[in-house]
Structure formats: C-alpha cells, structure tokens
Structure 1
Amino acid sequence: MVTSIARKAVLCAALGLVGLATAASAATLKIGTEGGYPPWSMVDAQGKVTGFDADVGHAVCKKLDMKCRFVVQAFDSLIPSLQADRFDLVISGMSVTAERAKVIAFSIPYATEDSAFVLPANSPLLKATDQKALLAGLAGKTVGVQSGTTQGAFLQKHAPELKLKSYETQDQMQMDLSAGRLDATFSEVTPQSQFLDTSGKGKFAMADAVIKSSADPEILGQGIGAGINKNNTQLKAKVDKALCELIQDGTIKQSSQKWFGGVDLSNYAACK
C-alpha cells in the first residue's frame, strides 16, 4: 500500500511538471512590425514595441491564447520576410491592396485611414480646394514618402510631375522636411497629425484636401489589415474571428482613441 501511494505521488508530481512545462511553452505568435511609424508602431527606449498596432497584436494574441513576440524591421522588408516565414503576421499599419494581395493574404481590415500632405505653414497649397488642384500645385516640387507605402505608389500614378523622395522611416522623412530638403510629405493622417502636434507644431500644417482611400482603392487599399502567409489559412480564420470580436467588444475603439487623440478608426463594416 505504501509503495502504491508513493508511486501515485510520483506520478502526480510528474504530471504536474508536464502541465507546468506545457503552460510555460505556450505557442508564440511572431508579429512583424516596423517600429518607426508613430502612433501605429514604435519602439521605446527599452526596446518594447508600443503603439496602436502593438495593442492590436497583444489583443489578438490574448484571444488566441498565445504569446506575442514582435520582430522589428524596415517596412518594405516586411512582406518578403512574411513570405519567408520569419514571422506569422504583419501588423504595421499596412493597407490591404490588390497588389499586395497577389503575394500575401490579409485579415479583415480592422481599421480605416485617409492620407494627407503636410507643407510649410505659409504654403498657399494648404488651402487647395481639391485633390486635383493640390497635385497640380505640387508639380516640380519634392515630396517625401515612406518606402514601400501605398502613398508612394499613388503619387507615382497620379502626380508623375512631382519629384518623389523615399525614406525608410517617417522620422527620417520629417527630419528632411524640417531641414527644408522637402517641399511636402505625404502619409496617413494619424502619423502626420502626431508630427504636427510635436516637432512640426507651428512650422507646418496639413492640407485641407485630404486624400480618401476611395480616390484610388486599387492603390490606397480597403483599410488596414494584418498580413498573413497565403499558405496559413487556419491562422487567417482565427485572426479574422479575433479581430471581429475585438471590434465588436470595443477593444479596437478604446486603443484607437488612446493613440489617435480620441479618433475611432475601427472598421465596423468589416464584420457585418
């Protein structure tokens, strides 16, 4: 009897250790992000990824009962790295476009975002009445965009007369604008607004003519989504379900309002 009890105790202890090991080795979801696109994705002094997309990533991981691990690298290298299986998802303010969808899959677009030009505060183009007038006024001028973005592709198609200069990060682009090496920058509204609230305050302003995604949905996309390897259909289904739940329960709204000054970028239409 003593021997039997002892054996049971040893067996229970062993099973307990196995349970602890399983819990400790919970599956990890590797997420590629840029880390230099505030307030969507930033890296703080301790190397921690923060921002709206970091919140979205952590919330998805929680829904899937997985651990998050962020992999930070240049935006234009995210899709090739996803194709090479260096991570499972891309969550980095990435617009869902037909061109990108040729090589990767996308989740439902969990957020929507427009694009805008930032120019010197005394520029007469700030009051351009529409997109056509604004682009015509920029002909021959140097405009900064971030490399690999839909904004760059949009200007190549719709404003070939302007001089386009690409940058790896938003910070580099905005530094050149501040130094007078650019006449304007073109990016999504939220990072442009953050620049105008910080280092660009008082010196630069956003043009009244905001460029809607509907201006060219083929290039500017259908909203912001998570990039997924085309072969990983099971993960796509899980991420879509998680994102819809996060939109419907207000998690996306809460994070959006926190990072974007009270603005809700949640794409409610994606889950109807």
Structure 2
Amino acid sequence: MATSIVRKATVLTLLGLAGVATAASAATLKIGTEGGYPPWSMVDASGQVTGFDADMGQALCSKLEMKCRFVVQAFDSLIPALQAERFDLVISGMSVTPERGKVISFSIPYASEDSAFVLPSGSPLIKADAQQALFDGLAGKSVGVQGGTTQGAYLQKYAPALKLKTYETQDQMQMDLVAGRLDATFSEVTPQSQFLDTSGKGKFAMGDYIVKSSADPEILGLGIGAGINQKNTELKARVDKALCELMSEGMIKASSIKWFGVDLSNYEACK
C-alpha cells in the first residue's frame, strides 16, 4: 500500500513538473521586428531592440504575463517567417492592409501614420501642394522606398513614371539619398523626421504634400497593427484586449510622444 502511494505521488510530481515545463516554454512571446527603422525599431550597441515597437512589445508581454524575445530580420521577410511560425507576433510598424490580411491576421490598428517625401533642401518640389504636381515633377527621377512597404505599393499604383529603388532598410535608403544616388525618398513621416533631425539636417527637407494614411486604405491600410499567425485566434483575442487596455491607460500615447513627439494612438479602434 505504501509503495502504491509513493508511486502515485511520484507520478503526480512528474506530471506537475511536466506542466511547469510546458508553462515555462509557453511563457515566452517571440516577436519579429525589423530593428532598422528608427524611431519605430532600432538595435542599440548592446544588441537590445529599442524604439516604439520595442515599447509596445514589452508592454504587451507585461499585460499577457509573458517574457519578450525579439527576433530581428528584414522587413520583407517578417510575414513569411510569421507564417512559418518562427515567432508569435510581428511588431514592426506594419500597416494593416487587405493584401496582407489574406495571409496573416492582425490585431486592432493601435496607431496611424501618414507618409511623406524627403527631397534636397533646394528642390522646388518641396512646395508642391498637390499629389499630381509632385509626381509630375519626380517623373523619371529615382525615388527610394523600403522593400515590402505600403509606400512602395502606393507609388507603383499612382506614380508609375518614377524610377523606384527598393532598399532592405531605411538606413540604406537614406545613405543613398545623402550620397546623391536618389532624388527623393518616400516613407512614413516619423522616420523621415528622424532623418531630418540627424544625418539629413540642413541638406534635405520634407515635402509640404503629405499622403494621408486614409488616401487609399486598400494599399496604405487601416493603421499600424501587430501581425499574428492566422491559426492563433486565441492570441489575437488576448492581444486585442491588451492593446485596448494599454490605449485607455495612456501607455501608447506616452510612448508615442516619447519617440515621435506626437500621439499616434488610434483611439477609434477600441470604441
């Protein structure tokens, strides 16, 4: 009888340890991000991911009571890697678009962002106040975009006369602009502003014409969201709930102002 009790206790202990091991393995949330798109996502000298995306990831992990592990890779490889289940989420300033929605799911769009051109400071196109005037002035000129972005897709549709050059990272694109290998770049306003405050200061300027995020929802999307594997419906529900809590608590606003100087929170998403 005593032997039976001991054996039963041992089995229960092993089962308990197995449960702990399973919980521990599930307690890490792997997040794919680019790491080269300041101020959204950067990697510092110690190899740590920083920026608005990192803040969002850490805040979500805290809400979900999980540990964060960031996986850094090229932006245009994030969706295929998510589909292959190499990580659980993509948090990388990614716009929620119908095209992307065919292959992955998205959280609520927790932030919104417009796009703009950066040109040499002496360019008369800086003052262009209409899209067609700007596109006509750039016809035949080299314009840089980041690979896999909605900005590249937008120019392919509306400005086919431009010579688009695609780059893996924002930094590479900006380096070519500084070197004179590009006539302009087209990207979201916040990383463009970051460039103009640093290496592009005094040499380049942002065009007056801003392409609103609502200009073409089919291409530019409905806002910035977290990418989630379509199989993981439970995680999506938990992430959506957590994001709305972070919105109402002011965390997204605080981090947005910290990194961008403006509040990009998409409050409509939680109404």
TM over 0.5: yes
CA distance, structure 2, for counterparts of residue 38 and residue 255 of structure 1: 14
Partner of 2:263: 264
Once the two structures are superposed, the pairs formed by residues 64-143 of structure 1 within 5 Å of their partners are 64-143=64-143
Aligned residue type for 2:37? Y
> Which residue of the partner structure matches residue 53 of structure 1?
53
Tell me what 1:193 maps to: 193
CA contact (8 A) 1:144 1:186 kept: yes
Give 1:4's aligned residue.
Answer: none
Question: Mind listing any 5+ residue stretches in structure 1 that lack a counterpart?
Answer: 1-6
Q: 1:99 to 1:177 in 2, by over 3 A?
A: same
Question: What's the CA shift for 1:30?
Answer: 0.3
Q: Letter of the aligned partner of 1:41 in structure 2?
A: S
Distance in structure 2 (CA, Å) of the matches to 1:74 and 1:86? 14
Q: Compute the TM-score of the two structures, normalised by the length of structure 1.
A: 0.91
Aligned residues: 260
Secondary structure, counterpart of 2:211 in structure 1: coil
CA shift at 1:131, angstroms? 1.3
Q: Deviations over 1:81-139 (max 9, x none)?
A: 00000000000000000100010000000100000000000000000011121111111
Deviations 1:59-100 (A, max 9, x none): 000000000000000000000000000000000000000100
CA distance in 1: counterparts of 2:232 and 2:24, whole angstroms: 25
Secondary structure (helix, strand or coil) at the match of 1:177 reads helix
Equivalences for residues 6-45 of structure 1 within 5 A: 27-45=27-45
Residues in 1 aligned to 2:208 and 2:146: alpha-carbon distance in whole angstroms: 21
Any conservation in 2 of the 1:115–1:187 contact (CA below 8 Å)?
Answer: yes
Where has structure 1 moved over 4 Å in runs of 4 or more? 17-26
CA RMSD of aligned residues (A): 1.9
Q: Secondary structure at the match of 1:258?
A: helix
Separation in 1 of the partners of 2:66 and 2:256? 23
Return the alpha-carbon distance in structure 2 between the equivalents of residues 231 and 210 of structure 1: 37
Aligned to 1:207: 207
- SS at 1:215 equivalent: coil
Trace 1:124-163 onto structure 2 (pairs within 5 A).
124-163=124-163
Equivalents in 1 of 2:203, 2:172: separation in Å? 17
CA distance in 2 between counterparts of 1:84 and 1:24 reads 22
Residue 57 to residue 122, structure 1, CA distance change in 2 (3 Å): same
Give 3-state SS (helix, strand or coil) of 1:164's partner: strand
TM-score (normalised: structure 2): 0.92
Which amino acid in the other structure matches residue 85 of structure 1? E
Taking the aligned partners of 2:26 and 2:85, their CA distance within structure 1 comes to 19
Point out where structure 2 has 5 or more consecutive residues left out of the alignment. 1-5
Partner of 1:239: 239
Q: What secondary structure sits across from 2:214 in the alignment?
A: helix
Task: Give the match for residue 226 of structure 1.
Answer: 226
Asked if structure 2 preserves the Cα contact closer than 8 Å seen for 1:26 and 1:67, the reply is no
Assess, with a 3 A threshold, how the Cα gap between structure 1 residues 154 and 112 changes in structure 2: closer, same or farther.
Answer: same
Counterpart-to-counterpart distance in 2, 1:221 and 1:23: 36
The amino acid of 1:147's aligned partner reads G
Name the SS for the 1:208 alignment partner: strand
Q: Is the 8 A contact 1:96 1:223 kept in 2?
A: yes
